[in-house]
Each structure stands twice: as C-alpha cells, then as structure tokens.
Structure 1
Amino acid sequence: MKFSENWLRQHVKTTATREELAATLTAIGLEVEELTPLGEALDGVVVARILSAEKHPQADKLQVCQVDAGLDAPLQIVCGAPNARAGLVAPLATIGTTVGTLTIKAAKLRGVDSNGMLCSAKELGIDADASGLLELPDDAPVGTPLADYLGLPDAAIELKLTPNRADCFGVRGIAFDVAAATGCEVEPLQAEPVAAVSDSAMAVELNAGSDAPRFVARVIEGVDPAAKTPVWMAQRLVRSGVRPVSFLVDVTQYLMLELGQPMHAYDRDLLKGPVGVRHARAGEAVTLLNGDEAKPDAGFLVITDADRVVGLAGIMGGNDTKVGEATRNVLLEAAHFAPSAIIGRSRKLGLHTDAAHRFERGVDPELPRIAIECATRLILDIAGGKPGPVQEALLAEHLPQPQPVLLRRARLARVLGTQVADAEVTRILTALGLAVEAIADGWQVTPPARRFDLAIEEDLIEEIARIHGYDAIPATLPGGSTRLIAPSESRSSEHDLRRQLVARDYLEAINFAFVDADLLKTWQLDAGGVALANPLSAELGVMRTRLLPGLAAALARNVARQQPRVRLFELGRTFAASEDAPQETRRVAAVACGKAAAEQWGVADRALDFHDIKGDLDSLAALSGAVLEYRASKQPFAHPGRSADVYRLDEAGEGACIGWIGQLHPRLQQALGLDVDVYGFELALDALLARPLPRAKALSKYPSVRRDLAFVVPEAVSWAAMKATAETAAGPILRELRLFDRYAGKGIESGFKSLAIGLILQDESRTLEDRDVDAVLAGVIAALGKEHGASMRG
C-alpha cells in the first residue's frame, strides 16, 4: 500500500515528525518498505507560463522563452526541454533558488541571457520523470509558490502489509492505527448523504447469494465531460503510484485508496438495466478495460446489464460500458463481495488488479454506501450534475457480522508477561475503532466490520501488544523443566540418511510440492493427483504424487547448464487423493547421471550404471539393517531391463514393496529433453528407516566350514531368486551365502552363465562333520536344479 504522507495527516492530526511516523508504523506491524521525500526545499520555485518560445540563434536544441512569473515584466529563459512551447504552464526556479545541488544564477547560454530555469519533475524531486518540463494545468495561478500549489513538501510512503490487515489498504484504515499509537484521534469522515434532485435511477439486483450480499448504485446526470481532475487529487494519486486517467475514473481510484472500497463508474447511456450480480455461465465472455477478452467459468461473479455480462465483479470492469470523454450521465457502483468468491480468480486470468487485491482479503461490508455518498459529493463539487436516489440491493443475512470477543485481564497479563493498565487497554481498543465494554474480569470487545482479522482473544492481545509497544514488554526467560526425549531405537535418523547420501556425493534438492499436471502425465504418474483450487500458476496446479519428476526436472536444468555429472536427492512428502483428506507419504528419492566417479587421474572414466545406484541404496539400507530384494519392475516410466521394484524383507523372508530403482525409460528421457541416461530410486521413507531392535546373541564357539560351488544356469535366472532358494534349502546352519564370481563365454553354452557361490556353515552346539556338510550341499544342489534348472559346472 502506497500513499501520501500529507493525505494520512489529513485524517489523523499527529505531531510526529516524518521519521517518527515511519518508525511508529513499522513498530506497530505496518512495515515501511520505502519512504520517498517529495518536493523538499522548493523556496523560490513558482508557477510560470511560457508566453513565447523562439529558436536559439546559436543552438538547434535550445529555445529562448519569454516567461510570465507573476512579476512586473516577463523573464527571458533559455530552455532545452523538448516540450517547451508557448502557453505551457510549468515550474520556474528563480535566481537564487537551489534546485538539488545547483544554485540558479543569471547566466548567458550561447550568448543569450537566461534569468532562471524551467524545471522537470525529477529536477524538483517530485517524480522520476525527466523527459521534459513538468506540465501544470492551464488554470494554475501564475506567480504562486509551487510548493503551495502542489501541497509540498510531502512524502510517498509504501507499506509492506501482511495479508490479515486488509483494513490498511485504505489511508483511513491506517489512520486508526496511527491514532492509537500516537495518542491522537481520527478526524470524522465527511460522508453526509447527498439528497437526490433527480428521479433518474437504475434498478439493481442480486443473484449470487452469499457471494455478493450488497450492491449499491447511483445515477448522476449532466456531469461536465470536460471536467479535469483537481491538482490536489491528481497529486495524491500520483504519490500513491496511480496514474490519473480522467476525472470520473480518478474519483473511484481516489476513494479506493482513501477508504479501501473499490468502485466502478459506468456510462449510464450505454446501459439498459437492470444492473446486477450473478455467477458466470458457460460460454460467456467479456472484453475488459485493458482490451483483453475474458471467458469466466462458473466460479466467477459477473456484473450484468439486462443479463449481458459487462464486467468481472471485484476484478475489472468491461470495455463496452466504460466512461469516456463524452460521458455526461454516469452510474456509480460499489458492492461487497465475499473474499472466497474473488480469491484466485484474477490470477486464473493472468490479472492482478487493485480491486481484486482488496476483495480477496476482505473489505468492510458497510463501506459501499459511504463510498457512493463520498463519490457523489466529489463529482458534484468538481463536475456538477444532478444525483438520483441511491439504489441498494441487500441480503442482510449474508453480510458478515462482527461477534463480541472476551478479553480477560488475567489472560492478557499471562500472554504478554506484563501488566497493562486497564485505562491503557481501553484507550488502545477504542482508538482502533473497537466497541469496548468493561466487565468484571476484563472487557467485552466488538471489532468494527472492517477488521476481519479480530475473531479470538489472542487477536485482541496482539493488538494491545503492538500498540502498547513490544519494546515495553519485558524480556523474561521461561521457567520450568525441560523433558528430554531420547531418539527412538526402532528408527534410523533422517539426519544420518542425509549425511550418508552427501557422503556418496549427492547434493540435497528442495522442490515445490506442486507440479505441472502435464509433467505427471508424461511420467504416467497422474493417477490420484490432488488438484489445487487456487494454484500460484497453471504450471504448479497439482500436488506431486512422486518425488522423481521434480528431481529429474532439476537434473535436466543442471545438464542444460553444462553440468555433465549431476547427483541429487530429496526428502519430502507426496500426496494422493482419498475420500477424506489427501494422504501424505514421506519419501526419499535420488537421481544421477554422467560418470560413476568425479573426474580424476587415478580412476578411469566409467559411465554410471544400475549397480552404482544400487550400491548407494544398499548403503542407506545398511543404516537401519534393512534387507532389500530387487524384482523386475513394470513401472511405465522405467527402463524394462534396467530397473527393479524394491522389497524390504522381514525375518520370515516375506517382503513388501517400498519403492523403485533403476534407469528412466528412454522414451521418457527423450520427452524430458535429456540426452543422457538417468538413474534413480524412490522409496517410502518410514519403511526404509524402520530398524529392528538389536538383540544380543552369543557367538558360536565351534568352527565354521566353507564350501564353494559353481552352477551353470540360464541367463534369465536372477541371483536374488537363486539366493532365496539356496538359503531355504541350506537350513539353520547357513551363516552366510556369497556370490564371488560370474562368468559367461568360452566353455559356457550361449544363453547361459556360470555363478560361483560360497556357503559358510556353522552350528551353535557342535562341530560340523562331513556328513552334515555334504547333506546341506546336496540339498542346495537339488533345490537349485529343480527350481532354476541349475547344473553343477564341471
């Protein structure tokens, strides 16, 4: 919110200096983001009129001007501004005046006398425009000090408001906070009803239920279309960051900034009536004031004229009924719209308007009629006209009603840690515009309709704290004992997981939890997606169902920036739709591409493969002692021969799928714009970190026995399947099973491979004999032959 300091001081007569005012605003939670002094030290600068402008005899870009400054005789001024011309009214710095760092003196420019300087807005410190002289209205009184004419000096103050302070999107709302903080009172608002002198009216109607419970309109006939926006109004708009357009438009902008109530002005002669509000229908469209054609859906509110759409309610008016240079009869409109009916709608159309910004946060439902009366008075005073009666459509049962809030004296002292005098509490709340009734144990407080943020006791305590002053609240260390909670032994630490991944050369990434719906479709992971009702943008419209799409997109951006070896991981939540609330799952994922090891002289270059990424995952499993099993995956985004579903096995050897590992499908890599092979994994975090409690077990005092066997098996048989069969056949005396060699080639039939395994056997109660070992070997050989067609290698 940007506004003029002098404008604020008109509403609250505080004696605080500019610096004190800015410090006070920040201290009470209305952070001053920028303060720009305007028109300092303009003594000697007056309003002047150029009587004539002749080309300089010695310079093509200079003009010799005769200027009326309200003195006995015109002054001769040499000027190089491109817009200097006869009849122009502009500021003149007379001899002896200091403009910036320059003191004006009588001088000769290329041989011609010059007795002053015609000035631009930037030279005077009023605006950033340095393109030419500051053009003043033709009726500006010549010879008047410029500071008096423009209401200077002044300052443009810009606040960084929090979303809950919608009431401070108007100068008058800010005035209440300043009054409470500085001990002043807010000046009464001059908004007396203007009597109708004409019967001209237009019926208004409401057809949107609780989304639009109030709609106020008034016709004013015979407005002077040539009326100009007064200098004082135009200057306040400019200092608030708004460009003056035309008088009727500027009036609505001015009152929106002053009161916080958006308004709109229609050309009455372009309307048929009645004017109303309803929800949009399929296929409707409207051309907006900015020239864009909008096609609202059923969630939008629209303004209608005889049921045709003429504007988007709470966002922007339509081009077909706008006021123009020929408008003599105007319809003023002010309404109250529920925040839920406006929020997100303008962003859906790629718009950001001041009206939507306010309605989304909540506007005082009592303001529409006040704004109509204020606008009527301004128009009559400046452009004349005959006002008709005020027309109001009202659904009182849908208007938000402020509810009393109990503020307990003891609760206030406990939360703040200090006692605030009862008189000070009453003063603060009253100055803020709240109705206060003292009761036995505190106060019964009813907030005004403009304060949507005051609903519970803690809200009132916050008001007391910020106005009383946070620096007036003593700093007290909390007392009591702290209960220490030991980390669970049944779960590995996420910190250890992160540290392990970093140790294996990964970098942690943090991605948005919402992604592009088209990206999920590309991955074929869009099933169960949760769409956002109010997305930040169309590209961020769905909650992610997996971490891998976001990580792969981050990897692609790095590869596109000439990073050949990228390794990223992320711990985060994924979301899936359900009958009630969306289900959240904590997951861990990683992606990698490029070389297996960073470039160095001691290790030969080798491309990353499945077993590298599997080794990274196995190292994570070791943190919790998880036993993982890998089975061929049929995920649509996975490479059919280089990926696997990951199962975690329990003590009985049974497993549940907890994730995926492998290479992305080549078609997917191509769709993502990746010309490198990308490997990765993603698993349910809780399932991976679950750790069985350690149980002490005595070591056997009897020796172990190792026997090595070599088998020839079909190439399609996986080691994981053979291992499971061998462990079952060997029985309880098997301590360890190792695969120590794989061979395929000369001496082995095509389509087969040779696997050499080592069995380590040990009993806890006795020394194993040869017959015990031979029985185990025979059982393993028979089981592998029966289940997998394995034969002993000669």
Structure 2
Amino acid sequence: VVKGVNVKADSPLWLTEKLRRSGIRSIDPIVDVTNYVLLELGHPMHAFNLAAIEGGINVRMATAGEKLTLLDETEVELKDNTLVIADDNKALAMAGIFGGLHSGTDENTTDILLESAFFHPDAIMGKARQYGLHTDASHRYERGVDPQLQATAMERATQLILEICGGEAGPVVEAVSESDIPTRAEVTLRKARLAKVLGIDIAADTVSEILARLGLDAKETDEGWVATAPSYRFDIEIEEDLIEEVARVFGYNSIPNQAPVAALSMIPATEKQLSVNALKSVLLNRGYNEAITYSFVDPKIQNALFPESNGLVLPHPISADMSIMRVSLWPGLLQATSYNQKRQQQRIRLFETGLRFVPDAEAPNSIRQEPMLAGVVAGRRYDEHWDANDKPVDFFDAKADVEALLALTGKEKTVTFNTETHSALHPGMSAAIYLDDKCVGWLGAVHPQFSKQLGTNGRVFVFELELAALTDRKLPQAQPISKYPANRRDIAITVKQTVKVGDIIKFVEKIGVNQLVGLNLFDVYTGQGIADGEKSLALSLILQDPGKTLEDAEIQAAVDSVIQGLESEFGAALRE
C-alpha cells in the first residue's frame, strides 16, 4: 500500500518518451509506472484504488454469472473457469488479464494498492480469448513470467511512484502457494548427443563456459552435463533446448556446412494400393484446386451441420471460432467457398484430404482419426468463355466427379448411390455412397438454411469419401480387344418416376446378355406424350462379340432380351 500519492503529478519526460517509443501512450503517473516496469522487467503489475476495496483481498475463481466492468468500460459476464482478484464482496479484476473500472485509479485517488503476482500459465492460458481480449499482461502470463521477480518488480514500481507522486509506502504483504510455484528441473546434456545433432565436437571446457554464461547451474559428468536453468528461462526444459543454446552462443557460422547423410530404403509399391496422389490427379484434371484448412473449426458451424456429433473441444483454442476438432472436412471447405465467392470467384472447385476426428469410446484417447477426401463445387459449370453457356453446376456434375474417383478402385460395378437424408444436405438432393454394400461417403447439395450462416451464394454441392475405401483397389484383368465391329442400338422406354435409373442399369448389366459391352443413358424426358407420374429413358446398347461379327438376328435377340427383362422387372414399356 502506498498512501498519500498525487496522481495529478506529471510523468517525467524520460518516462513518457520511453513509453511512446514502445507504442504505449501516457495515461497517468501510476499507470505509466506499472507499464514501464512491465517493459523494463517483463513483469505485469496492477494498481488498485484502495478506497474501492471492501475488506481483504482474495484470489479466487469467478462464480457463474458474476459480472465485471473492465477498464475499457465494457461489461463482461465472467465464466467459472476465470481467476479473479476480489475483495470481500465483489470481483475487482480478471487476474493476469484486465483490471476492473470500479477499482481502477482515477484523478481522485490518494491511496493505492500495488499488486505484483505470479499466476501459473495454465490458470491464464486461453481465458482472455474467451472474452475476445488480448492484453500485454495476458500475453506474458500465458507464456510464463519469472516466479522470483515479484518482489523486485514491487520495489521498483514503489521507488518510481514515490519519486514521481510522493506518498508513504507501507510494508509488502506476501501470500504464497508453494505447490503452485514451478520448480526448475535438472536437464541432462549428453556429449554424444550434442556432437550428433550439431555434427561437430565442441570442447567440454567451451560448453561448460557457455552454460555458465547463460546463467545455468551446470555440473559436468563423464557423459555430459546436468544443468538447472534460472527461473526466468522457461524455454529450457529438455536436452534439445540446451543443444540449441550451445549452438547459438558457439555461433552457427562456426559450425561447418555438411550435407546430411542418411540411409534410404526403397519401399516396395503395392499394386493393389492406390496412391492418394492418383486420386488427387483425377480431381486436378477435372478442374479442382487442392485446399488445406484447419483441423479445428467453428463450433457453431459444425454443430449446425452435424447436430448429432459431439466434437472434441479444445481446452486452449486459438480463438473461439476455432475451438472444436472437425468431424468432417466440409466446414473448412465451405468457409473457403464463402471466402472465394466474396472475392468474385464465379467457378469454385476445391478438394481436401485430411483427418476427421470422430468421438469413439473404443478408440485410443476416445477419438477415432479417419483420413478423408472431400470436395466442394459451386458456381459456373464451365469457365467463362465466348462459346460456353452460363449454366450453374448441378447435382450430377458433382456425382460425375465422385464416379471418376470411384472408377479408379476398379469396383465401380459395386457402387450405388442411395437416396438418404443427411443433416447438412438438402433432403431432395442428397445420397449416401455405398461401395461393396458399405457406406463410404456422402454427396449432395448443402441445405439452403445454412447459406446465411456459411456466407455462401447459390447452390453449393459437397462430397466426402473415406480414403481407405478409395485406396483399396481391385486389380484390373487384361482382356483382348475384339477385332470385330461393335453395334449400337438405342431403345426408349417409359417407367414410373419412382424407378431409379441406377437400378435399371445394374439390372441390364446382370441379365446375362454376353455381347453387351457398353450401356449408357443419354436422354431423360417428361412432358407431352408421357403419362403423368412416368418418365422416358433413352438407353444406348453397345453389342460386340470377341470372336465373330454379330448378325442382325443375334443383335435383335439381345435387344429383345433386354426389353423383356425391363418389362417384367420394372413394368417398362417400349416407346413407339
């Protein structure tokens, strides 16, 4: 406590000038002194108006719902994980982060209470970001301050205040929780390890001298050194830290340049294993760009897209909107889509490979990490061109890209797209992707209700596939090419609207027409001449025999077999 101070005194020119050159404006002599001590010693301090304190001083956790008006006049509702400095009735300041307006010094202050404290980094880390704050004090406390510097900082601040503002200083009251004060552990530096990492033998006497110059308490042993770092060197904790310090003081220029030498072993390529680069090449050739997004995403976006998932929440996130581990690659890609659309990009095709983090009680650390491949398609179907139409992409553009990926597996015959609903996708434009009767991914249009939250424009289509399913390839079997001509026959049938084209194609491929080597849907029509509730499908059949030229009768028999099968299985009728 310092009583009888004159807060209206002018801060000396040398003090205000040093603060100005450090980017800090002068406020009043009390605040200027605490800011100067922060710069001079690297230790944050705070001055309270003694008249605003009711009773004693307590350091405690905030109670849920407790409110505090900060020095910048903003009011925050404190969370119960926030450490506060309080009197007997109320919180006075957020410990190590920001002071309170009520207990701050003003022009009427005559008595002050100086606070110089050590707070463990774990108690402060991430707390400022919860409130959207970042202060000089929180910046230092999060990284650690010297636990032996509090008394020195207090004496220095008291000296300056008495010189500038006058007053009478009282005794220093010290409260210590020994269990929370970090102790410096011994770190072993091995001579062999030092030589191996640096690639040079440094004399033992030289190393001992360097460690001593750094303020380390080091003892030499037969194998190396055992050193204890001073309290202000929080960055020295492991052997590699000591090696770095020795190299830095010895001089990087004194270490000769040598090319690294390592034994390389060739890993045999497994033909059955499809490389990720092969999958990427397919998408790159189809006009995509590869994106790399953060594995931690905005919980609001993820919870909206995947309300049934409970992602892993980070205890110390970079920011509040990057505080949860992704359960899908879609949130990052959709934010990238929004970013590009806001910069007038009219055609967007992005893909990403990476891990998703799915809660699983049976997995290590209760998190299952799965490699995924995801993509997003939006905007124009083609690049702007004088001879290209201006049609936007649709569901089938994205589906074609997914089919191109699945074709690399050699298992395209076992791929099905089943109409199913997904919380993030439009119910009328979504499909679950099955490979060998196992769901390996999803495809569809992002639900319109999320457009405003995501900041996207127009239809946005996404897909996501398990990489493990894509990289497991069926080995192709070589077959001779027939030297006999192929024959094409087109048929047009009408079926109910509910009949899936995929089911028709799979049925035709299985009915046993040996000469059928190609099948393609080239037209879908509804309207005049077609009954309500029905649609017209035009199919091309490519027929070829490996051993002879097919005669017209054989071709017609094969076509008739297909038509009869479609009539019996789907109630199809041949259009005249």
Whether TM-score is above 0.5 comes out as yes
TM-score normalized with structure 1 length: 0.64
* CA distance in structure 2 between the partners assigned to 1:695 and 1:313 by the alignment: 70
* Number of the residue aligned with 1:242: 24
Tell me the equivalent position of 2:73: 291
Structure 2 counterpart of 1:546, from 324, 328, 334: 328
CA 681–251 in structure 1, closer or farther in 2 if over 3 Å, else same? same
What does residue range 170-569 of structure 1 map to in structure 2 within 5 Å?
219-225=1-7, 227-524=9-306, 527-569=309-351
Cα gap change, 1:624/1:261 in structure 2, threshold over 3 Å: closer, same or farther?
Answer: same
Instruction: Find the aligned partners of 1:355 and 1:538 in 2 and give their Cα distance.
Output: 20
Please identify the structure whose Cα radius of gyration is greater. 1
The question of whether the paired residues in 2 share the 8 Å contact of 1:365 and 1:399 is answered with: yes
For residue 739 of structure 1, what is the aligned residue in structure 2? 520
Contact 2:521–2:537 (CA under 8 A) maintained in structure 1: no
Matching residue's letter, 2:421: K
Looking at structure 2, the residues matched to 668 and 317 of structure 1 have their Cα atoms a distance apart, in angstroms, of 39
Residues of 2 paired with 1:425 and 1:540: CA distance?
43
Q: Give the superposition deviation at 1:557.
A: 4.2
Deviations 1:353-407 (A, max 9, x none): 1111110000111111222233334444554444333222212122111111111
Q: Which residue of 2 aligns with 1:188?
A: none
Report how far residue 640 of structure 1 moved: 3.8
Deviation at 1:710, TM superposition (A): 5.8
The question of 1:631 aligning with 2:414 is answered no
Q: Give the direction of change, closer, same or farther, for the CA distance of 1:395–1:498 in structure 2 (3 Å limit).
A: same
Cα distance in 2 for partners of 1:680, 1:304 equals: 51
Deviations 1:434-490, CA, capped at 9 Å, x for gaps: 111122222211111222221111111111011111111111122343223344423
What amino acid maps onto 2:289 in structure 1?
L
Pairing 1:612–2:394 present: no
Structure 2 unaligned runs (5+)? Answer: none
Equivalent residue in structure 1 for 2:541, among 755, 758, 766: 758
Using the TM superposition, give the Cα deviation of residue 587 of structure 1 relative to its aligned residue in structure 2, in angstroms: 2.7
SS at match of 1:721: helix
One-letter amino acid of the counterpart of residue 126, structure 2: G
- Decide which moves more: 612-621 or 416-425: 612-621
How far, CA to CA, are the matches of 1:375 and 1:669 in structure 2? Answer: 55
Paired AA for residue 368 in structure 2: Q
What's the CA shift string for 1:393-429, capped at 9, x where partnerless?
2121221111111112222122111122222222221
Q: Which residue of 2 aligns with 1:155?
A: none
Change (3 A) 1:564 1:403: closer
State yes or no: 1:590 paired with 2:409.
Answer: no
Report if aligned partners of 1:713, 1:790 keep a CA contact under 8 Å in 2.
Answer: yes
Cα offsets for 1:198-246 (capped at 9, x unmatched):
xxxxxxxxxxxxxxxxxxxxx2334455554344433333333333333
Q: Could you tell me the percent identity over the aligned residues?
A: 40
Q: Is the 8 A contact 1:740 1:758 kept in 2?
A: no
Letter matched to residue 338 of structure 1? H
Q: Residue 365 of structure 1 aligns to a residue in which SS? A: coil
Deviation at 1:747, TM superposition (A): 6.1
SS of alignment partner, residue 535 of structure 1: coil
SS in 2 for 1:659: strand
Distance 1:285 1:687, change over 3 A: same
Whether 1:656 and 2:443 are equivalent positions in the alignment is no
Judge conservation of contact 2:511–2:562 (CA < 8 Å) in 1.
yes
Give the deviation of 1:655 after TM superposition.
2.3
Normalised by the size of structure 2, how large is the TM-score? 0.86
Which residue of the partner structure matches residue 385 of structure 2? 600
> For residues 578 and 430 of structure 1, do their structure 2 counterparts lie closer, same or farther at Cα, with a shift above 3 Å needed?
same
Return the letter of the residue paired with 1:444.
V
Q: What do residues 697-751 of structure 1 show as CA deviations (whole Å, max 9, x unaligned)? A: 67799999988766542232112112333344328x5763513554656765443
For residues 308 and 535 of structure 1, the distance between their equivalents in structure 2, rounded to whole angstroms, comes to: 29
Identify if the C-alpha distance between structure 1 residues 659 and 246 changes in structure 2 by more than 3 Å, giving closer, same or farther: same
- Letter aligned with residue 419 of structure 2: A
Q: How far has the Cα of 1:673 moved from its partner?
A: 5.8
Change (3 A) 1:414 1:513: closer
1:630 Cα shift?
1.8
Structure 1 274/771 Cα, relative in aligned 2: closer, same or farther at 3 Å? same
Q: Contact 1:596–1:608 (CA<8 Å) still a contact in 2?
A: yes
Partners in 2 of 1:578 and 1:778 — Cα distance?
Answer: 53
Contact (CA 8 Å) 1:734, 1:761: kept in 2 or not?
Answer: yes
CA contact (8 A) 1:266 1:331 kept: yes
Deviations 1:9-50 (A, max 9, x none): xxxxxxxxxxxxxxxxxxxxxxxxxxxxxxxxxxxxxxxxxx
| Kept after mapping to 2: 8 A contact 1:491/1:624 | no
Change (3 A) 1:452 1:526: farther
- Asked whether the equivalents of residues 261 and 367 of structure 1 are also in contact (C-alpha less than 8 Å), the reply is yes
Change (3 A) 1:762 1:451: same
Please tell me the residue identity of whatever aligns with 1:585. E
Q: Taking structure 1 as reference, are residues 590 and 480 closer, same or farther at Cα in structure 2, changes over 3 Å only? A: closer
Residues 120-157 of structure 1 deviation map (CA, whole Å, 9 limit, x = unaligned): xxxxxxxxxxxxxxxxxxxxxxxxxxxxxxxxxxxxxx
Alpha-carbon shift at residue 297 of structure 1 (Å): 0.4
Contact 2:30 2:161 in 1 (8 A): yes
Shift of 1:349: 1.7
Q: Write out per-residue CA displacement over residues 758-782 of structure 1, whole angstroms, 9 at most, x where no aligned residue.
A: 3757699x99999999998887666
**The residue matched to 1:436 in structure 2 has which SS?**
strand
Query: Aligned runs of 1:65-214 on 2, under 5 Å?
Result: none
What is the alpha-carbon distance in structure 2 between the residues aligned to residue 743 and residue 281 of structure 1? Answer: 65
Q: How many Å apart are 1:783 and its aligned residue? A: 5.2
Residues 508-562 of structure 1, C-alpha deviations (whole Å, 9 max, x = no match): 3333333333333543556233333333333333333333344344334444444
Q: How many residues align?
A: 569
Change (3 A) 1:680 1:405: closer
The SS at the match of 1:262 is: coil
- 1:338 Cα deviation (Å)? 0.8
For the Cα contact (< 8 Å) 1:730–1:779, is it kept in 2?
no
SS at 2:106's partner residue?
Answer: coil
| Structure 2 CA distance for partners of 1:584 and 1:600, relative to 1, 3 Å | same
Seen in structure 2, the aligned counterparts of structure 1 residues 463 and 780 have a Cα distance that, compared at 3 Å, is same
- Give, in whole Å, the separation in 2 of the partners of 1:276 and 1:299: 16
Aligned pair in 2 of structure 1 residues 413, 238: CA closer, same or farther (>3 Å)?
Answer: same
The 1:239/1:611 distance shift into structure 2, 3 A limit, reads closer
Equivalents in 2 of 1:672, 1:479: separation in Å? 49
Describe the shift of the 1:444–1:508 C-alpha distance in structure 2 as closer, same or farther (beyond 3 A).
Answer: closer
Cα 1:670–1:435 shift into 2, 3 Å: closer
Aligned amino acid, residue 375 of structure 2: A
Mapped partners of 1:249, 1:667: distance in 2: 50
Distance 1:403 1:697, change over 3 A: same
Query: Measured at CA, do residues 607 and 307 of structure 1 come closer, stay the same or move farther in structure 2, by a change above 3 Å?
Result: closer
Q: Is the Cα–Cα contact under 8 Å of residues 525 and 545 in structure 1 kept in the other structure?
A: no
Closer/same/farther in 2, CA of residues 638 and 357 from structure 1, 3 Å limit:
closer
